Chains A and B, each alone.
Chain A
Amino acid sequence: MTDPDAPMDVLPGSLSVVRPAGSGANGGFETFIKITADGSVTAFNGHVDLGTGIRTALGQIVAEELDVSFARVVVVLGDTSVVPDQGATIASETIQITAVPLRNAAAQARHFLVAQAAQRLELAVEDLFIEDGLIRGRDNRSVSYGELISGETIRIDLKDDVPVKAVSAYGIVGQSVPRTDLPAKATGELVYVHDVRVPSMLHGRVVRPPYAGVDAGAFVGTSLIAVDKASVRDIPGLVAVVRIGDFIGVVAEREENAVKAAAQLKVSWKPTPTLPDLKDIETALRANPSTPRTLIDKGNVDAAIAAAAKPMPRTYIWPYQMHGSIGPSCAVADYREGAVRVWSGTQNPHILRADLALLLQRPEREIDVIRLEAAGCYGRNCADDVTADAVLLSRAVGRPVRVQLTREQEHAWEPKGTAQLMEVNGGLNADGSVAGYDFATRYPSNGAPTLALLLTGAVAPVPAVFEMGDRTAIPPYDYDAIRVVAHDMPPIVRASWFRGVSAPPNTFAHESYIDELATEAGVDPIEYRLRYLKDERAVDLVNAVAERAGWTPRPVRKEPAAEGDIVRGRGFAYALYVHSKFPGYGAAWSAWIADVAVNKTTGDVSVTRVVAGQDSGLMINPDGVRHQIHGNVIQSTSRALMEEVSFDRHAVTAREWGAYPIIKFPDVPRIDVLMLPRQDQPPLGVGESASVPSAAAIANAIFDATGVRFRELPFTPERILAGLRGAQGVAPAPMPLAPPQPPASTDRWKNPFAGRRGAVATAAALCVAVVGVASAVLPWRSIAPIARPDASTWSAATIARGQQLAALGDCAVCHTVANGAINAGGRAIETPFGIIYATNITPDVETGIGAWSYPAFERAMREGIHRDGRHLYPAFPYTHFAKTSDADLQALYAFLMAQPAVRAETPANTLAFPFNLRPLMAGWNALFHQSGAFQPDASQSATWNRGAYLVEGLGHCGACHSPRNALGAEKASAHLAGGFAEGWEAPPLTSLSHAPIPWSEDELYAYLRTGESRLHGVAAGPMAPVVKALAALPDQDIRAMAVYLTSFNDAAMDEPARHALGARLEKSTGARVVSASPVGARLYEGACAVCHAVGGAPLFGSRPSLALNSNLHSAVPDNLIQVILHGIAAPVSSDLGYMPAFKDSMNDAQIAELVTYLRRQFAPGKPVWTGVRAAVHLARHRISR
């Protein structure tokens, strides 16, 4: 503990209220209040502000008791070097419990100062009054706090029994003081922990093990096999790769390079053990070993239930949920011998300090935890984990390191709000009274040790059992025979407390059950509760809420009048949130009336309005309380409607907001807050109470609307539909599927220039092997090398023209590796026969084409033969290039020879036999190649012929867009009828096109010129660099290509008709298709809709419409899968915007769900794709662009 006196003084002199520090703080003292001679007041509290505004409320309390203005008070929270150790900021303790000593300290200071003033002014204490720190008496005698303190260092010991102000005298507490932090937050001036920068700071990222979200079991900390440091050697500014047990981190000078290193680092892990099936929470929780702990056992429960007229055993299930901080956790650490500083967003600075001491094997006094604000976490998220990570990395590199967890890591590893199973055995007596209530709750524990302790082996990964399932486990109703048992059990996956801990699940059961009892008894549910509710403040609240909402008694459920598919209902629930160690304390009382609208066709539930009543006792800051109620209502509605962590059998699978959605603006209910005036009562915690009745109120409202009880969260459309169907015995109506379209004959689309050869080629293909052997002996000869010609040989105009032609031919697209020198080769091209590496076509004499004469170049371009006589493979599209005119080939040669020479050996191809035998290519050429130059078609326009020359020649569109036969030759009979390249489908350019709207000349032109066609989509994958390269061509050439390509399409539809069709398609696919994958629908809504939803708010870049996108209408899902996996990092132009890659955020199953959903939703007339999951797997593992 450092002395807070020294550095903070402005004028000499101070008054502190202190108490001796507890253990671990090295015999010092803890300060609660400090007043300095300039009259300013600093208040210290061990809790932290989690975004709920307690900083402001604590300031109000101190200002009130000290009689100073609110503006004079600075509240310091959670810095271990100066604030008292008051444990973790949990439950609703801050105002109710932790604020008490602070209030006492402030009052004590006031008493002391007034006594001093009385002496100094020679007046009686009773004759003095205080105004903002100025103590005044009669005759204008006055002295300020500052003057009383000036020059002295006064320290008073905190007492427990201090007379504090009467509530009736309050002037600051009870007022809605604006929060002090908002102006800075709204202008980017507040420093969150994410914004800490210290001199010479480096950036770190961690690489987590594959057992994401699991923290108990012998494999934890012992699963790492190897880290290949060489795999990140090329990362600029990489400082270190750190490995300790299963802990891995990378450190770099720049953040983006740490990101790259973490993604690129090759790590091998042992296989991860299998988890229980968490899709079936009930079975998993029942199977988890537990110890019963009886909390109450009153009356003869067993006999009472046995005698019940109507037994009613019920089971309620709560899923795993996430804290879901909007900002993934972040920390900065500066490790030095004897002095370790960390900047952290922790909820529990002192506990974290002890963890760090254990991790580092250093005494606590050497460690200073500075707490800064972070994103609201509502429980324990990864804030402590990342602080420990940062400390380990800083220790390894000897410099300060900032570590930012990724969204995926925060989602996967944050200790989850745990699943819970509640069972009620009970029933009704014949008179409708409650026979008995036997309640059992199963809550897997939530210790969640700081991750680095486990990963490094500092703490054994043994699951610990805590007693946390008992919050509000005893219902608020006075049942005669009642037993409540908490089954304490170890965690199944990593879990920790989350707003309300076990109280919301327990209350979900209590409040659903009493609603069921009321229904069975034929009594209005509120009236029924009031029969058993003995607490007067509770009764007042329930009545007030019923009145505010205009509750009409409903002893018998009436079928509501349906409005189309919609039925409406309303439900009630009440809770007194009992928190902290059993039996605990009550926080604010809370009651809800929720109105819902249920769509019986889609299963969508919307909570339309909530009347939320609360009795909070004295409200320090009423606006603050109101905002807390709003926040609780919205967050808990989100939890009830849509929140559930998904798992596979090894780990958490929800790693972004599509897989774990939270509520969005359109779904936020109207909220009517009712705050009971109880300013004469002690203040109560308001941070969680209003969350507690949520799920039951909504479930009860859904029952009111539909007549079906839902006893498991969340109330997703699929769960509601299943429930409704179960109740009504109606099978889901299958969506009518359009029959698959019969494959059109591909012969319609003949290459207009391929007529001369068909029959011979087909026959010859049968004996290709023979031809191949024969051709191997044909006398091809090498063409002699030349000295590299000087660039000055050609005119600038020729070179410029050659540059355009190189662009048209996409030379650089294939002959350049990612981030490599232009045209220096080495790029791997995947073919069905193996991998071919593009060659170096820079004029380097030894490794490139520097020694090639023009005749050698021309022969290669026209006949596919290397200067040395070797055959080239037709991955090099000489079959197209052959059509190029002499003048153009010469210009191209000139351009290539005029470029800088780059020395770069081309790797050897890896082709399977017999394709590795180059001489066979001679036979191939005999079959499939015509080396003649382009011959115009006199019956067509000049523009058409120009387009044909460009498309069929250097443009070599057919190389990708025509299907190939078994020997890899383009099928002449299906010219441009669609092919494959590098894992992407090159869609048909003919009227075989899958596009829902036929291509027109203008759309083709727009696409080739800008990379985007409003009616078809944007160029991605291998097509993006093609369009980019075409930028070198003049508009009239692009137009000519469009004219030529349009001639393959049926051009029956005019421009207005195309756009009208587009609008129609967008509208008809706007409503959610019920039969489409609900998981896929959520992924779309969370990840895709922001940029793709029709009519969404504009964002930088284009907004490609999925209903019109050719890829969604194709026969194969490949392009859709590719673009989801890899995104669009290099669009044709930045105006189109960028698409992120989702390969590291979604697993194969999720992408398959998404792809299947998109097909169903946006191409409803097309057959469902099959084998999607396998296609995703394949695409993920092939060479990607």
Chain B
Amino acid sequence: MTQSTIRLTVNGRIHDIDAAADTALLYVLRNDLELNGPKYGCGLGECGACAVLIDGVAARACVIPIEGCVGRDIVTLEGLGSRCNPDPVQQAFIAEQAAQCGYCLNGMIISTKALLNRTPHPSEADVIEALRFNLCRCGAHIEIMRAAMRAAGHLVGAANR
């Protein structure tokens, strides 16, 4: 693949990237832009660890080459908010202690955000469908569901789901 400069807009900032056009977006986000939110999990679009928002829609950065991202608006976990100023979805995940190791957390938060972008008041079934293809090995599903429901504005009941 011929090397060219590719212009990406990530978290509101413009970056000119010197990499082959077929380079997976994930590598560029992690290595060139030093963003740690998106994670490598499978490289096949199966697990969701690498999720980002592209034009507000959830996308799996491991299977999208940067040439397909030109002129699009890319947002990573870092672009949602920070420890000092978290996005409401991040806030909900922190409040519900919704992780064990947290490796899947990026995908869970991004997928929830994408869901709320298109459906501001999702049902529990909507949330399950939105997170269905995000894998978690630690079994943090219950806390993650509670966090997503909290982010969706549902009142969350006491201890047990």
Given contacts A186-B90, A374-B101, A1134-B69, contact A326 B139 (CB under 8 A): no
- The number of chain B residues touching the other chain, given as a range, is 35 or more
Instruction: Please tell me which one of the listed residues B70, B101, B133 contacts residue A376 in the complex, with CB atoms under 8 A apart.
Output: B101
What is the CB-to-nearest-CB distance from B18 to chain A, in angstroms, rounded to a whole number? 9
- Are A635 and B138 within 8 A (Cβ)? yes
CB proximity to B under 8 Å, residues A358-376: 373-376
CB proximity to A under 8 Å, residues B99-113: 99-106, 109, 111
Q: Mark A250-261, 1 if CB is under 8 A from B, else 0.
A: 000011100000
- Specify which chain B residues have a CB less than 8 angstroms from the CB of A671 in the assembled complex: 142, 160-161
* B58, B115, B140, most chain A CB atoms within 10 A: B140
Cα separation A373 to B20 with both chains bound (whole Å): 31
- Are B97 and A634 within 8 A (Cβ)? no
Is residue A178 within 8 Å, beta carbon to beta carbon, of the partner chain? yes
Q: Mark A165-203, 1 if CB is under 8 A from B, else 0.
A: 000000000000011011111111111101101000001
* A188, A256, A1095, A1098, most chain B CB atoms within 10 A: A188
- Specify which chain A residues have a CB less than 8 angstroms from the CB of B83 in the assembled complex: 183-184, 187, 189
Q: A1139 — nearest CB in chain B belongs to which residue? A: B63
CB proximity to B under 8 Å, residues A1079-1108: 1086-1087, 1089-1091, 1095-1101
What is the CB-to-nearest-CB distance from B22 to chain A, in angstroms, rounded to a whole number? 7
Cα separation A1087 to B47 with both chains bound (whole Å): 9
Given contacts A324-B137, A326-B49, A1100-B64, contact A185 B99 (CB under 8 A): yes
CB proximity to B under 8 Å, residues A399-426: 404, 406-407
- Are B77 and A188 within 8 A (Cβ)? yes
- Are A51 and B94 within 8 A (Cβ)? no
- Are B101 and A627 within 8 A (Cβ)? no
Is residue A1049 within 8 Å, beta carbon to beta carbon, of the partner chain? no
- Are B36 and A1100 within 8 A (Cβ)? no
Is residue B123 within 8 Å, beta carbon to beta carbon, of the partner chain? no
Given contacts A51-B138, A819-B1, contact A630 B133 (CB under 8 A): no
Q: B93 — nearest CB in chain A belongs to which residue? A: A186
Cα separation A186 to B69 with both chains bound (whole Å): 25
Is residue A1181 within 8 Å, beta carbon to beta carbon, of the partner chain? no
- Are B86 and A183 within 8 A (Cβ)? yes
Q: A49 — nearest CB in chain B belongs to which residue? A: B101
- Are B1 and A1134 within 8 A (Cβ)? no
- Chain A contact residues, majority secondary structure: loop
Is residue A662 within 8 Å, beta carbon to beta carbon, of the partner chain? yes
- Are A376 and B100 within 8 A (Cβ)? yes
Is residue A69 within 8 Å, beta carbon to beta carbon, of the partner chain? no
Q: Mark B114-134, 1 if CB is under 8 A from A, else 0.
A: 110010000000001111111
- Are B101 and A373 within 8 A (Cβ)? yes
Cα separation A192 to B105 with both chains bound (whole Å): 13
- Are A657 and B101 within 8 A (Cβ)? no
What is the CB-to-nearest-CB distance from A878 to chain B, in angstroms, rounded to a whole number? 31
- The number of chain A residues touching the other chain, given as a range, is 35 or more
Is residue B9 within 8 Å, beta carbon to beta carbon, of the partner chain? no
What is the CB-to-nearest-CB distance from B57 to chain A, in angstroms, rounded to a whole number? 5
Is residue A1017 within 8 Å, beta carbon to beta carbon, of the partner chain? no
Is residue A312 within 8 Å, beta carbon to beta carbon, of the partner chain? no
- Specify which chain B residues have a CB less than 8 angstroms from the CB of A626 in the assembled complex: 159
Q: B28 — nearest CB in chain A belongs to which residue? A: A256
**How many residue pairs, one in A and one in B, have C-beta atoms under 8 Å apart?**
243
Cα separation A671 to B142 with both chains bound (whole Å): 8
Q: Mark B49-64, 1 if CB is under 8 A from A, else 0.
A: 1000011011110111
Instruction: Please tell me which one of the listed residues B90, B103, B145 contacts residue A192 in the complex, with CB atoms under 8 A apart.
Output: B103
Instruction: Please tell me which one of the listed residues A375, A1100, A1140, A1142 contacts residue B101 in the complex, with CB atoms under 8 A apart.
Output: A375
- Are B160 and A672 within 8 A (Cβ)? yes
- Are B45 and A326 within 8 A (Cβ)? no
Instruction: Please tell me which one of the listed residues B23, B76, B77, B82 contacts residue A256 in the complex, with CB atoms under 8 A apart.
Output: B23
Given contacts A630-B140, A1140-B44, contact A664 B63 (CB under 8 A): no
Instruction: Please tell me which one of the listed residues A179, A192, A195, A256 contacts residue B27 in the complex, with CB atoms under 8 A apart.
Output: A256
Cα separation A325 to B43 with both chains bound (whole Å): 14
- Specify which chain B residues have a CB less than 8 angstroms from the CB of A1090 in the assembled complex: 45-46, 132-133
- Are B97 and A179 within 8 A (Cβ)? yes
Given contacts A376-B137, A665-B141, A1100-B58, contact A328 B40 (CB under 8 A): yes
Given contacts A256-B19, A325-B137, A665-B128, contact A375 B103 (CB under 8 A): yes
Cα separation A668 to B106 with both chains bound (whole Å): 20
- Specify which chain B residues have a CB less than 8 angstroms from the CB of A672 in the assembled complex: 160
Is residue A623 within 8 Å, beta carbon to beta carbon, of the partner chain? yes
- Are B137 and A670 within 8 A (Cβ)? no
Q: B128 — nearest CB in chain A belongs to which residue? A: A665
- Are A1099 and B57 within 8 A (Cβ)? yes
- Specify which chain A residues have a CB less than 8 angstroms from the CB of B68 in the assembled complex: 1134, 1137-1138
Is residue A658 within 8 Å, beta carbon to beta carbon, of the partner chain? yes
Is residue B42 within 8 Å, beta carbon to beta carbon, of the partner chain? yes
What is the CB-to-nearest-CB distance from B136 to chain A, in angstroms, rounded to a whole number? 7
Cα separation A578 to B135 with both chains bound (whole Å): 30
- Are B34 and A657 within 8 A (Cβ)? no
- Specify which chain B residues have a CB less than 8 angstroms from the CB of A183 in the assembled complex: 83, 86, 94
CB proximity to A under 8 Å, residues B140-161: 140-143, 145, 159-161
- Specify which chain B residues have a CB less than 8 angstroms from the CB of A373 in the assembled complex: 101-102
- Are B101 and A51 within 8 A (Cβ)? yes
- Are A188 and B128 within 8 A (Cβ)? no
Q: Mark A51-95, 1 if CB is under 8 A from B, else 0.
A: 111000000000000000000000000000000000000000000
What is the CB-to-nearest-CB distance from B71 to chain A, in angstroms, rounded to a whole number? 9
Cα separation A203 to B142 with both chains bound (whole Å): 37
- Are B40 and A1145 within 8 A (Cβ)? no
Q: A1091 — nearest CB in chain B belongs to which residue? A: B45
Q: B77 — nearest CB in chain A belongs to which residue? A: A188
Q: B78 — nearest CB in chain A belongs to which residue? A: A188
Given contacts A631-B100, A1096-B132, contact A327 B45 (CB under 8 A): no
- Are B43 and A1140 within 8 A (Cβ)? yes
Given contacts A182-B94, A1138-B68, contact A657 B47 (CB under 8 A): yes
- Are A326 and B44 within 8 A (Cβ)? no
- Are B36 and A191 within 8 A (Cβ)? yes
Given contacts A51-B102, A183-B83, A1129-B65, contact A376 B138 (CB under 8 A): yes
Given contacts A178-B97, A188-B36, contact A1087 B44 (CB under 8 A): yes
Cα separation A183 to B109 with both chains bound (whole Å): 12
Cα separation A219 to B6 with both chains bound (whole Å): 47
Cα separation A1137 to B93 with both chains bound (whole Å): 29
Q: B70 — nearest CB in chain A belongs to which residue? A: A1134
* A182, A819, A1129, A1139, most chain B CB atoms within 10 A: A182
- Specify which chain A residues have a CB less than 8 angstroms from the CB of B49 in the assembled complex: 326-327
- Are A1097 and B137 within 8 A (Cβ)? no
* A378, A633, A665, most chain B CB atoms within 10 A: A665
Q: A53 — nearest CB in chain B belongs to which residue? A: B100
- Are A1097 and B129 within 8 A (Cβ)? yes
- Specify which chain A residues have a CB less than 8 angstroms from the CB of B109 in the assembled complex: 186
Interface residues of B (CB under 8 A from A): 1-3, 19-20, 22-24, 27, 30-31, 34-37, 39-47, 49, 54-55, 57-60, 62-65, 67-70, 76-78, 80-83, 86, 90, 93-94, 97-106, 109, 111, 114-115, 118, 128-143, 145, 159-161
List 5 additional contacts besides A665-B145, A1100-B59; criterion CB under 8 Å: A187-B83, A325-B137, A634-B142, A668-B142, A1097-B115
Interface residues of A (CB under 8 A from B): 50-53, 178-179, 181-192, 194-195, 197, 203, 236, 254-256, 323-328, 330, 373-376, 378, 404, 406-407, 623, 626-627, 630-635, 638, 656-658, 662-666, 668, 670-673, 819, 1086-1087, 1089-1091, 1095-1101, 1129, 1134, 1137-1140, 1142, 1145
- List the 5 closest A-B pairs by CB distance, nearest first: A51-B101, A188-B37, A634-B139, A1100-B59, A1134-B68
Could you list some 23 contacts between A and B, CB below 8 A? A51-B100, A182-B98, A187-B82, A188-B106, A325-B137, A326-B136, A375-B103, A623-B97, A630-B143, A631-B139, A632-B139, A635-B137, A656-B46, A662-B135, A666-B132, A819-B2, A1091-B45, A1096-B132, A1097-B58, A1098-B118, A1100-B54, A1100-B59, A1138-B63
